[in-house]
Chain A
Amino acid sequence: MFEARLVSSSTLKKVLDAIKDLLNEASFDCSDTGIQLQAMDSSHVSLVSLSLRSDGFDKYRCDRNLTMGMNLASMTKILKCANNDDIVTIKAQDDADSVTFVFESKKQEKISDYEMKLMNLDQEHLGIPETDFSCIIHMPSGEFARICRDLSQFGESVIISCTKEGVRFSSSGDIGSANIKLAQTNNIDKEEESVSIDLQEPVTLTFACQYLNSFTKATPLSSRVSLSMSANVPLVVEYDIPDLGHIRYYLAPKIEEDEN
């Protein structure tokens, strides 16, 4: 028996919004420590890793490890049926072929349940090595989303270059070029809005805009985002889900064209 209860269905909606742009279906691995999800997009360039800790749930019970393959489009349809302040409970039997979502309104006057068929997805798990990144940028997630959106109008790829002066995002294309430079701000009053750079050595990497834009779908989950980069390893874009866990996106860098 698996049962996980969240006080607010809006969190689950946001989590789903954050992954459904990249993935069509995904398997949720449930264990007594929580729910994990790891999946690559269809082009196998990026990887989504979601972790929801069991203690972040209002109520959590998982008797036996369970993998639930879900079609994310169907799951979105079901979650659209829930109000944002509904209490949501995810339930499944141990070897079930379906999962049940129960939505309870705040005053318990309305209880609806939706059953969804599970899918058999044979997904391979990738081992992600611990990496000491050359630089880690912490910045407001809204700012990052804005930068990605703005730069994607200019070109298909973004060059992120991080030095001790600050971080520069640049892009160029048919209409011209764009550069956005962020300096480090250590504003103690407004910690939420500060940009901090933890730099070991300067890094410059190129990434596909479209993927970064897909990652920023997680912006509603957290006010902060962290970008971790090292030469020739994937970029890690991490959003914290307050009191519940985190979502990490890994994106392989573009191979430099002028590299011989």
Chain B
Amino acid sequence: MLQYFLRRLFALIPVLFLISLFVFLFVHALPGDPARVLAGDNATLEEVEIVRRTLNLDAPLHEQYFDFISNIVQGDLGVSLRTREPVTTMIGRAFMPTVWLALCALGWSVLFGLLSGVISAVKRGSVGDHVGMFAAVSGISMPPFWLGLLLMQFFSVQLGWFGTSGFDAPADLVLPSLTLGAGVAAIMARFTRSAVIEVIREDYIRTARAKGLTEKLVIWKHALRNALIPVVTMAGLQFGFLLGGSIVIERVFRWPGMGSLLLDAISFRDYAVVQAEILIFSLEFLLINLLVDLLYAVINPKIRYS
């Protein structure tokens, strides 16, 4: 197990290197002179030079990259060009609202996806199965920002049950998390259905039935327990996508999270924040994937030998 863990950890190193290079080159990929872009359109020549020197943009590229990495390791993500606030502070403020949103979305989508997936698998070929799977394809195909607008129009504007924007109370999580989780619930339902169908063909399920166990016990205790292995993996992987997917939803509900921060930073050309956000988003995505892989190896010993 330790060997597998170390192998996975080492495999991460080149990916981390390439990501850091990509994020580092982000500022250099900006069209025109990056110092001029970062200083703003109205900056004087002196101000542009100050930005160039402050950000070490006049040093050779490899030196700049080394500085960039050592600053990140020390937890220094730079200063916002718009608010002059440390980027770490801004991200610290926006991080938890996004995590709460993603966790809530994951919670309800796993619960709903699991239930409807199992029911569809057990009643395979029935009208309920067809309706459930059509709903799942619809969930995947639904533009999330449109679903958000529809929910807001109905529950907030017409019924007045929830607020239309911001995160002031736990109830504010309901509509954004429902919107964010719809696609994942659909994926989970489809995935659970095929995992359960796969498992109920196995010999040990036939044995359980032959022993005279009730169908409920066979499905919920024996079949689901094994089907859960790939389903848990899928749920973990989806969490990373939820964090990324929250960017659009946060704009719809004016959620004070990482997505809103990123979009504001892009519109104000606050590249220090954009750079830091892309780095954090990809790092958390990578770490979640690693954790899920390790969890999978713990649950399923076969994977360690491959």
Q: Do A and B come from one complex?
A: no
Using a CB–CB distance below 8 Å, which chain A residues touch chain B?
none
